[in-house]
Amino acid sequence: MMVPAGSQDGFPVLLPFRLRRGETHHRLGVAAGALLCIGLVLLVSTASAQGGRVAPSALQVIAKWAPLLLTGFAFNILISAFAMLLGTIAGLGVGLGLLSDLWPVRQTSWVLTQIFRNVPWLVLLFFVMFLVPFQLTVFNAHIPLPDWVKATVGFALPVMANVAEVVRGAVRSVPSTQWEAAEALAFTRRQSMWRIILPQCFKRMLPPWMNIYSLVTMSTVLASIVGVSELLTLTAQVHAAEGGRPELFAPLYGFALLCFFLYCYPINRWTAHLERRFQTR
């Protein structure tokens, strides 16, 4: 008697099921996260509506103040974008300084990187907010420095340190044969760096750079502590304007949570996609 494939002693055997390598369920994850946030808002708003209060429900309050809150969230994104721009430009210079052949440049870059990378972001924010003047005077011209500008600089400092480490690591990851080939072609060290090494580093630096941006975006809520009118500050003001009702606390801050989640989660998924696409061996 012939035994079917995958069987022993004439009895069928159930082979173990194995997921394909790299298979993920990120679509289910983002849907579950979004539904959790929305469900929280609906649950609290329903509970407040069932209390028989004349005051508007949580959903009505959120719909009323949503344009203002979304304006504050756009301000968070603006601060994070400018902080990343300043931090990336400065971090590129500091990162190349870490690779310099000149000892003073290399040591200065190392000190800057270690200081701003290992200090709490809130401490740096307070440092910049209260030690940087409110305005600069240049040739009898007064240039104001609003709080959001100083907060942007405060966030740009740790970004600079982290980007510097990303640049250093990316350059170090390039095989030494690339340097040797450039030297054989009579390229100087500067020409080798800018024409051969750094173009290869781009795909290595992009995923961690996007992770830093996502982290900065979520950290911009710290600016509310120093009086910047961003999403969290406006959320507290809306809560106070509605009489400080306890049942509005969770829906309003849940709305802020949902804004950040819907903005940062796609960045996280895109980063993971780029890591797989640009994977180097």
For residue 51, name the pLDDT band (cuts at 50, 70, 90).
Answer: very low
Calculate the CA 223 to chain-centre distance: 15
The pLDDT tens digits of the residues spanning 58-85 come to: 888 889 899 999 999 999 999 999 999 9
* pLDDT for residue 49: 47
Contact in structure between 154 and 128 (CB atoms under 8 Å): yes
Mean pLDDT of the chain: 81
The pLDDT tens digits of the residues spanning 114-146 come to: 999 999 999 999 988 888 777 777 777 778 788
In whole angstroms, give the CA distance from residue 157 to residue 212: 12
* pLDDT for residue 11: 46
* pLDDT for residue 37: 57
Enter the tokens of residue 68. 């203002």
For residue 90, name the pLDDT band (cuts at 50, 70, 90).
Answer: very high
Instruction: Calculate ∠ Cα 108-110-111, nearest 5°.
Output: 65
The pLDDT tens digits of the residues spanning 31-47 come to: 555 555 555 555 545 54
* pLDDT for residue 30: 53
Domains of the chain: 64-278 (1.10.3720.10)
Enter the tokens of residue 104. 């003073």
* pLDDT for residue 17: 43
In whole angstroms, give the CA distance from residue 92 to residue 271: 20
For residue 22, name the pLDDT band (cuts at 50, 70, 90).
Answer: very low
Enter the tokens of residue 126. 């307070």
In whole angstroms, give the CA distance from residue 215 to residue 148: 18
Enter the tokens of residue 106. 């290399």
Contact in structure between 79 and 151 (CB atoms under 8 Å): yes
The pLDDT tens digits of the residues spanning 172-222 come to: 888 888 888 888 888 888 888 888 888 888 888 888 899 999 999 999 999
